Amino acid sequence: MNIHEYQAKEILSSYSIPVPRGRVALTSDQVERAAKEMGGRCVIKAQIYAGGRGKAGGVKLVHHPEQAQDYGKELFGKRLVTPQTGPEGLKVRRILVEEAVEIAREFYLSITLDRATSRYCLIASAEGGVDIEEVAQKSPEKIHVLTIDPYTGLRPYQARRIALALGLTGSLCEDCVELMLNLYKVVLDKDCSLVEINPLVVTRAGWLMAMDAKINFDDNAIFRHREYPDMMDYSQLDTLEINAGKYDLSYIKLSGNVGCMVNGAGLAMATLDVLKEYGGEPANFLDVGGGATREKVAEAFKIILEDGDVKGVFVNIFGGIMRCDVIAQGIIEAASEVHCTLPIVVRMDGSKVQEGKQLLVDSGLNVQTADSLGEGAERIVQMLG
């Protein structure tokens, strides 16, 4: 789960990590007022669930409150396209107005989960800042990576070694050590999969400060933090993914035209593979889970059909826990409700399979059944052909 920069900075600040003074605004009038508070000269920052805003016009230094307001008007409602958003961009609904800081040096610092070692690792670089991706490709030796032992945690001497490698000395080095240790506390306390400060800066006045902040929470830990769901900005998410989340379905949009509804993640992956093998292109990955109810199947089916790219649906369900006649009822209910005329192929197996198939055949829908995965994939590709 993602949160905005201003929320991430509030968290960092509560762990004694210095951030610029700032205020979040929802209207251009609020942008103007906040700019006045900052003394006129300030930085206007579009809040979207993506980075790369600086180069896309989402971060701007202004000198007067009126200029801030004008820029606010321009940004609100605009879809900002950055290298991280995809071509459709993300809509700006919130703006962070921040004091303009005089920057002397910029660094990259993050702690993220390394899935290969199942441990957190701290990543730091004295070069990069905004162009960290480029540094990682061209001169990876300039990036310092430290795998953190979960038993000992991040030790001060390890943090100091990294701070020295970044070229920090004296009290700045010690400030940086403290900052890294606090950052590690954030990661643990808040169950983060990523905390990134890019750039971490040394100001002209000689202080360390987090100039940007990105935090991702581990979705599996949300139940431990009651405040997280309210921190989510739904305007930044795909509506279909929001609906899927509500019904506890795993849904991921893909680029093809065959909607897929499957129970179990492993079966879903196998289904996409076999579909591709027969020349089909999946429009999504949707796992309804093991013990799905009729309502859940109906909801899943509707989510698939709401995607305008879907030209046909392939259902592949193993009715181990679920009964096939119940699945069939869910499909029929959903398809009739949204007046679906698209071709549907249902491959199912398990208890009450004959009854399930019979219900589908009698339903009047444009549906065919299949006995094997390959047969089903071949059939839906033919029906679309």
Residues lying near ligand ADP in the complex (CB under 6 A): 20, 43, 45, 51-54, 59, 98, 100-101, 103, 106, 129-130, 198-199, 211-212
Tell me whether residue 60 or residue 73 sits nearer to ligand ADP (CB atom). Answer: 60
| Residue 213 tokens, joined | 């902040």
* Tokens 């004959």 belong to residue: 354
Tell me: does residue 329 bind Mg ion (CB under 5 A).
no
Among 32, 212, 299, 378, binds Mg ion (CB under 5 A): 212
Q: How far is the CB of 239 from Mg ion (least distance, A)?
A: 27
**Does residue 21 contact residue 34 with C-beta atoms inside 8 Å?**
no
Q: How far is the CB of 270 from Mg ion (least distance, A)?
A: 39
**198 among annotated binding-site residues:** yes
- Measured between alpha carbons, how far is 227 from 229 in angstroms, rounded to an integer? 6
- Measured between alpha carbons, how far is 277 from 273 in angstroms, rounded to an integer? 6
* Catalytic residue selected from 6, 49, 71, 108: 108
Q: How far is the CB of 212 from Mg ion (least distance, A)?
A: 3
Strands (E), 138-191: 143-147
Query: Does 378 participate in catalysis according to the annotation?
Result: no
65 binds, among ligand ADP, Mg ion, none (CB under 5 to 8 A by kind): none
Angle at 113 between CA 169 and CA 7, to 5 degrees: 75
* Tokens 């995607």 belong to residue: 307
* Catalytic residue selected from 5, 196, 299, 378: 196
Helix (H, G, I), strand (E, B) or coil at 207: coil
Tell me: does residue 125 bind Mg ion (CB under 5 A).
no
Tell me whether residue 129 or residue 264 sits nearer to Mg ion (CB atom). Answer: 129
**321 among annotated binding-site residues:** yes
Helix (H, G, I), strand (E, B) or coil at 105: strand
Query: Does 196 participate in catalysis according to the annotation?
Result: yes
What phi, psi does 283 have (nearest 5°)? -90, -15
- Measured between alpha carbons, how far is 182 from 179 in angstroms, rounded to an integer? 5
Q: For residue 96, which of 57, 60, 50 has the smallest C-alpha distance?
A: 60
Tell me: does residue 47 bind Mg ion (CB under 5 A).
no
Cis, bond preceding 18 (omega within 30 deg of 0)? no
Among 162-170, 178-186, 195-203, 255-263, which window interacts with Mg ion (CB under 5 A)? 195-203
Q: How far is the CB of 235 from Mg ion (least distance, A)?
A: 21
Residues numbered 274 to 303 that lie near Mg ion (CB under 5 A) are none
357 binds, among ligand ADP, Mg ion, none (CB under 5 to 8 A by kind): none
Angle at 23 between CA 186 and CA 87, to 5 degrees: 80
Catalytic residue numbers read 108, 196
The annotation places the binding site for substrate at 263, 320-322
The annotation places the binding site for ATP at 45, 52-54, 98, 101, 106
The binding site for Mg ion (CB under 5 A) comprises 198, 212
